[in-house]
Amino acid sequence: MIRKKLETVPSSLTQIKLIQEDLDAKIKPQLWDPKTMLSNLSIMEEKVHQLQELVQLIVSKSSINQSNEFLIQQQQLVTADLTSIIIQLISTAGSLLPNVKHPHFSPNPNPNPNTSDDNNSSDGNTHTTHKNKVSKIEDHSNETDHMDVHEEHDDDVDEGENLPPGSYEILQLEKDEILAPHTHFCVICGKGFKRDANLRMHMRGHGDEYKTAAALAKPHKDQGSEVKLIKRYSCPYIGCKRNKDHKKFQPLKTILCVKNHYKRTHCDKSYTCSRCNTKKFSVIADLKTHEKHCGRDRWICSCGTTFSRKDKLFGHIALFQGHTPAIPIEESKGGGTIGGHDHDVHDHNHNHDQDQDHGDNYNNNIQGSKEVGFFDFNFNSNGSGVDPNICFSPLNMESNTNKFQEFPRSLFEDSDNFSFLLSESCNYLWKNGGESSYKDL
């Protein structure tokens, strides 16, 4: 049974485990200095004693009537002391951290370094002869730049890292593995977990033998391995710059980077923002980040693309010929006298919502951008530069549509630039499209 379960584990995973074991064998835990540890411990001991005395003092005096504030003061004092002790404890423990890096490895006996070397060279996954220079910040970041904000988007980027080729191991996970939701599987029932700790907790249910302290403890390994070799990851997508066969290969730092990179770059964007119905993401964290800012995109280009920052809008306009900044709706319509009209626009959008089932990407986007404009109205109502002198007249609307009609000339005159466009921007067709869809209604 166990064997069977083991077989269900993706082969590449086992492969990678093998490699890592080999690696671990080579890596010696970073040497921690017992002397410093000792001195740290004694300092902490001293502090604990001091605190003890203080608390004793408080206890002895507590019989006497004391005001509430005084008690609170004492409490704060004690808390502060405790906090400093805890911090010291953590920092002391931190010096041991390198030893705890690969928790899901069973504590293996020290393998022979020589054999591991042999293993490496025979293993097709490692390339020790790179000609690449891993220095530049990678281009993919630009792409994500366009998609507004990514808090995690640093993951993909090896900021200024300049590792000489060959100084690090290259690992490559397969597609299935990258996309697998879980990385830790129960060998008995096959249930998957994201974290090893959860797996261990789960294992307790499979019998008493898993309940021992040894089994529950974080697996320690790496003892005895001497050299710490840096690990870097390669994307399995052939032709990708993050793929090890690429001429200008730039490795990814961690498994998380691999996952995010692969999803962002080579997967469909399946998460759609529920607010604007426009933006799509493949990493759920990106969606969440976007949703925080969605609707705040005050800066709109005539092509419909919205920006949360003015400088981004101007950068965009500088890049593309014929794109102009769009005047926010509330200004072009001149003040708040036209609330009813604005409502109309919104109603149109509503209809679009219903039409959307046909998968008309176009409408979808135009509608999205309009909606942003509508949001805008709300955001700006408290004041920036709305000219109260301008009254609404039918002409206003006309000039507005004029502006949109003005756009049918070829939007992307420099096709060179266009090729670089993010996949999303092709959805952002110009508002002219919106115009026609209006007429359809």
Partner 1 sequence: MKKQKCIREDAETKIKPFDFLSEEIVCSILDYLKSNPFDLKSFSLVSKSFYSIESCHRKTLKPFPRTSNDHRHDQLKKLLKRYPFLTRLDLSLCPRITDGCLSYITNSCGKTLKSIDLSRSKFFTHVGLSYLVSNCFNLVDIDLSNAIHLNDTAAAAVATCRSLERLCLTRCKSLTDIGIGCIAVGCSNLRVLSLKWCLGVSDLGVALIGVKCKQIRSLDLSHLLITEKCLPSLLKLQYLEDLTLEGCCGINDESLVSLKQGWTSLKTLNMSYCENVTHVGVSSLTSTATCLQTLNLSYGPIITLPFSESLQKFSQLQSIRLDGCQVTCSGLKGIGNWCVSLKEISLSKCLGVTDDGLSSIVMKHTDLRKLDITCCRKITQVSIAHVTKSCGSLVSLKMESCTLVPSEAFFLIGQNCHFLEELDLTDNDVDDEGLKFISKCSHLSVLKLGICLNISDDGLIYIGNGCQKLRELDLYRSIEITDTGISVVAHGCPSLEMMNVSYCENITDSSLISLSNCSNLNTLECRGCPRITSLGLRAIAIRCKQIIKLDIKKCFNVNDSGMIPLAQFSHNLRQINLSYSSVTDVGLLYLASLGCLQSMTVLHMEGLTPVGLAATLLGCGGLMKVKLQSSFRTLLPRLVIDHLESRGCVFHWRDKFFQAELDPKCWKLQAEDVE
- Compute the least distance from the CB of residue 384 to partner 1, in Å: 9
CA neighbor of 242 nearest in space, from 144, 169, 152, 156: 156
CA neighbor of 118 nearest in space, from 237, 224, 2, 26: 26
Contact status: 402 vs partner 1 (CB under 8 A): yes
Judged by CB under 8 A, the number of residues near partner 1 is 26
- Compute the least distance from the CB of residue 379 to partner 1, in Å: 15
Handedness of CA 380, 386, 403, 326 (dihedral sign): negative
Would you say 15 or 302 has its CB closer to partner 1?
A: 302
Binding pattern for the stretch 78-117 against partner 1, x by CB under 8 A and - elsewhere:
----------------------------------------
Contact status: 395 vs partner 1 (CB under 8 A): yes
Residues in a beta bridge with 299: 307
Q: Which amino acid is at 408?
A: P
Contact status: 393 vs partner 1 (CB under 8 A): yes
- Compute the least distance from the CB of residue 397 to partner 1, in Å: 11
- Compute the least distance from the CB of residue 387 to partner 1, in Å: 5
Q: Which amino acid is at 343?
A: H
CA neighbor of 33 nearest in space, from 102, 92, 103: 92
Would you say 99 or 396 has its CB closer to partner 1?
A: 396
- Compute the least distance from the CB of residue 318 to partner 1, in Å: 5
CA gap 59, 5 in Å, rounded: 59
- Compute the least distance from the CB of residue 405 to partner 1, in Å: 11
Would you say 208 or 311 has its CB closer to partner 1?
A: 311
CA gap 158, 425 in Å, rounded: 26
Residues 6+ apart with CB under 8 A from 212: none
Would you say 29 or 328 has its CB closer to partner 1?
A: 328
Binding pattern for the stretch 406-425 against partner 1, x by CB under 8 A and - elsewhere:
x-------------------
Contact status: 209 vs partner 1 (CB under 8 A): no
Residues 6+ apart with CB under 8 A from 219: 103, 104, 105, 106, 107, 196
- Compute the least distance from the CB of residue 314 to partner 1, in Å: 4
Q: Are strands 192-193 and 280-281 parallel, antiparallel or unpaired?
A: unpaired
Would you say 209 or 387 has its CB closer to partner 1?
A: 387
- The token pair at 412 is 């992307």
Contact status: 385 vs partner 1 (CB under 8 A): yes
- Compute the least distance from the CB of residue 231 to partner 1, in Å: 41
Would you say 291 or 331 has its CB closer to partner 1?
A: 331
Which span (78-86, 105-113, 170-178, 381-389) binds partner 1, by CB under 8 A? 381-389
Contact status: 55 vs partner 1 (CB under 8 A): no
What Rg value do the Cα atoms of the chain yield, rounded?
30
Residues in a beta bridge with 280: 272
Contact with partner 1 (CB under 8 A) among 56, 167, 254, 399: 399
Contact with partner 1 (CB under 8 A) among 114, 389, 415, 419: 389
Beta strands in 74-154 (DSSP E): none
Contact status: 374 vs partner 1 (CB under 8 A): no
- Compute the least distance from the CB of residue 403 to partner 1, in Å: 6
Contact with partner 1 (CB under 8 A) among 349, 396, 412, 438: 396
- Compute the least distance from the CB of residue 118 to partner 1, in Å: 55
CA neighbor of 234 nearest in space, from 169, 167, 183, 182: 169
Contact with partner 1 (CB under 8 A) among 37, 180, 390, 421: 390
CB 88 within 8 A of CB 43: yes
CA neighbor of 174 nearest in space, from 234, 114, 240, 106: 234
CA gap 327, 298 in Å, rounded: 10
Q: Which amino acid is at 80?
A: A
- The token pair at 3 is 């064997």
Question: Which residues, 295 to 354, sit near partner 1 by CB under 8 A?
Answer: 310-311, 314, 317-318, 322-328, 331-332, 334
DSSP string, 146-215: HT---GGGGGG--TT--BPTTSEEEEE--HHHHH-S-SEE-TTT--EESSHHHHHHHHGGG-GGGSSHHH
- In the complex, the residues that contact partner 1 under the rule CB under 8 A are 310-311, 314, 317-318, 322-328, 331-332, 334, 385, 387, 389-390, 393, 395-396, 399, 402-403, 406
